[in-house]
Amino acid sequence: MTSYRPTFNNSELLRDAAYVNGQWVKKTDKFFEVTDPANGETIAKLPEQDVAIVDEAIDAAYEAFKTFKNTSGRQRATWLRNLYNLMIENMEDLGKLLSWENGKPLAEGIGEVKYAASFFEWFAEEAPRIYGTAINPGITSNRAFTRREPVGVCGIITPWNFPSAMITRKAAAAIAAGCTVVLKPDSQTPLSALALAYLAEKAGIPAGVFNIVLTHKDTPAFGLKLCESPKVKKVSFTGSTNVGKILMKQSASTLKKLSFELGGNAPLIIFDDADLDKAVEQAIASKFRGLGQTCVCANRLYAHESVIDEFSSRLASHVNKFVIGHGLKDGVTHGPMINPKAIEKVEAHVKDAVEKGAKVVVEGGRRPDLGPAFYAPTVLTRVPQNADVSSQETFGPLCAIIPFSTTEEVVKYANDSDVGLAAYVFTQNVDTVFTVSEALETGMVSVNTGVFSDCTVPFGGVKESGFGREGSLHGLEDYTVIKTTVIGGLPNRL
């Protein structure tokens, strides 16, 4: 296995400590390792902090909130714009760092950094535009109005698959609203988060507003602290449905505000009138982004009986051109899985589907010649609806193509899930666009494109995919509360 250690123009982006109240903090002689998923080499050693650091960070955020909530939207916009500019200035370095700790190809890593930065730009523009409403009460001598106020200290827990973007679309909205943040990044990919803290400091964001705590072994205890603290008024989490349910239970004692983006299992439907070239191109963009390790990637591909064989053949020819390797190597299109254990579920789903009659179009499989976490994509066609992949999220590079005959049948298949984050529809018929998109039980429907996420678009799910929306004009709502003021006893109008 070849060693890849990138060079950085700004080495200050590589941090080796937590960030609390404007200070870089270790306070321990215990450490955990961050490794390159492609070869297992150690990238960094970070402090394995005691759970007490969470209390320190919460206290710092709580004190900072007392003054930060009174800053003007225009001032917060300036800080966020500064942070956006710094991310763009350091885009190549941030992309290298992200690719190094996460494994995704460099071009994809830089793409994520651009996407992540866009949330600071968007919410810089939204911060001065937080409006209330004027209300005409039924009592004519009363007047009423509302204003949106920041909810308070926000606990943010983010996953490894988007180490930068999952942070910015939460933290940008929180800061824009006037909230302060305590962030717990995934211990497999914390370096991108720490680089953001460094840039936040350079952007002028006040001490205590943006805090990062670190742990590997005590992650559940850190989450419990954030959920049970009465000083934390909101928790935002992206991750599995099971963990989301645990955090929701733990937050019940303080009745804090929550927003969760949880499991996906997204259906992608190709109707018989679809543009097959576009459907193949966009299905690949959705299914194999991050090697299928994304919450909105197509997990179940439904192709109409009349086009399934042609669609499968065309898709396979593209997949066979993928170049698998280290994300920092030139020409590589797809990197490793996040760790070797992640491959096990992919293999189990492939085995189950084949045993139930699925046809192998691209065999794929482990690539031990490249490293223990490498798996070349597998494509299966004519997968039966009773295969495990139809009801369970694979979160890996298995493309399972399932046949259908009627619109009613495929909508039933697509909705036969406890989760409902995203769905994809490919058709040239405007009637199908509206009837199917409205019938699908998901928070988002993408028509004739496989990549739809954007800072301007509300992102979130329904059912057990969670609640709340990130990005867009709605992104600030979950970080504010509505205060109503009523003035009574006014004289009759002249």
What is the domain partition of the chain in residue ranges? 11-262+468-481, 266-455
| pLDDT given at position 408 | 98
Rounded Cα–Cα distance for residues 409 and 419 (Å):
18
User: In the 3-class helix/strand/coil scheme, how is 338-353 assigned residue by residue?
Assistant: CCCCHHHHHHHHHHHH
- With a CB cutoff of 8 Å and minimum separation 6, the contacts of 62 are 152, 153, 180, 231
Instruction: Give Cα 234 distance to the centre of its chain.
Output: 18
Q: Catalogue the active-site residues.
A: 261
CATH topology of domain 11-262+468-481: Aldehyde Dehydrogenase; Chain A, domain 1 (3.40.605)
- What 3-state DSSP class applies to 263? coil
Sign of CA dihedral 124, 80, 295, 4: positive
| Residues in a beta bridge with 375 | 366
What is the pTM (predicted TM-score) of this model?
0.96
Superfamily of domain 266-455: Aldehyde Dehydrogenase; Chain A, domain 2 (3.40.309.10)
Could you tell me the two tokens for 324? 């698998």
Residue count of the chain? 494
| pLDDT given at position 1 | 61
Same fold, 11-262+468-481 and 266-455: no
Q: Which residues of the chain have pLDDT under 50?
A: none
- DSSP assignment letter at 53: H
